[in-house]
Amino acid sequence: YLLNGSKNWITYAQVADVGIIYAYTDSTVRYNGLSAFIVEMKSTGVKTGPTAEKLGWHSCPTGEIFFEDVRVPARNLLVKEREGFALVMGSLDNTRLTAAAGAVGVSQALIDQAVQYAKSREQFGKPIGQFQMVQEELARMIVETEAARLLTYRCARQKDQGISNTLETSMAKYYSCETASRVADGALRILGAYGYSTEYPVERLFRDAKLYQILEGSANIHKMIIANDALGYRKANR
């Protein structure tokens, strides 16, 4: 096979030794013409470069990949020719679950920071944690995170049991990732100026939380999957 094309926003593009590449071997039948290849990233014709500077996730390189007449032997087909779409959709159910779990982790880290700060910061003669409005913010952050965690655990348990769960994965991914941003907002409010300062990890977690709303299918994509399933237009678990 001779592969040509480019793709931006690929995590670890610049440091990967091997890539799984999805390419059309028949572009007339849209996604039914997609094939999956294992490609050595040092192959002739492969070029990579960094993307633009990012808001967060600085420890995780993101790059762009260019393929120009890259020769790939037929034995490097990962599944049968034109069966790439089913493979990529199946793998999304796994990677979307890890995004949900990562977002729950970010939310919990933000809660830990907010609790610690609310107990130690004093205003008007007492710790700010004793003000009911700070407690309300914290309670909301905790309950939403717990709900996100339970959706994520349900999804993980179904995976362990081999149950098809595209719908539940979308619910976990959508809710956990939106929650992380709301929790980040709350944590910033509780820390006041220090939430906005690089002295505390909250501003980094805030920036990291934003990515979860974008990757592994934006919130809109998951809302579409969930609503289309409910309306019977397109069943998610097939």
Ligand X SMILES: Cc1cc2nc3c(=O)[nH]c(=O)nc-3n(C[C@H](O)[C@H](O)[C@H](O)COP(=O)(O)OP(=O)(O)OC[C@H]3O[C@@H](n4cnc5c(N)ncnc54)[C@H](O)[C@@H]3O)c2cc1C
Interface positions with ligand X (CB under 6 A)? 9-11, 54, 57, 62, 211, 214-215, 218, 220-221
CA distances from 110 to 44, 143, 207 (A): 45, 13, 12
Of the pair 82, 207, the CB lying nearest ligand X is at: 207
Asked whether the beta carbons of 141 and 187 are under 8 A apart, the reply is yes
Asked whether the beta carbons of 16 and 39 are under 8 A apart, the reply is no
CB of residue 12 to ligand X, shortest distance in Å: 7
Residue 136 annotated as catalytic = no
With CA atoms as reference, report the closest residue to 47 among 10, 88, 85, 73: 10
Integer Cα distance of 219 and 93 in angstroms: 15
Asked whether the beta carbons of 204 and 176 are under 8 A apart, the reply is no
Of the pair 167, 191, the CB lying nearest ligand X is at: 167
CB of residue 148 to ligand X, shortest distance in Å: 19
Phi, psi dihedrals of residue 49, rounded to the nearest 5°: -155, 165
With CA atoms as reference, report the closest residue to 105 among 205, 190, 201, 192: 205
Of the pair 4, 8, the CB lying nearest ligand X is at: 8
CB of residue 98 to ligand X, shortest distance in Å: 12
Of the pair 66, 153, the CB lying nearest ligand X is at: 66
Tokens of 33: 């013409």
Phi, psi dihedrals of residue 9, rounded to the nearest 5°: 60, 60
CB of residue 236 to ligand X, shortest distance in Å: 16
Q: What is the 3-state secondary structure (H, E, C) of 108-152?
A: HHHHHHHHHHHHHCEECCEEHHHCHHHHHHHHHHHHHHHHHHHHH
Of the pair 10, 78, the CB lying nearest ligand X is at: 10
Positions marked catalytic: 216
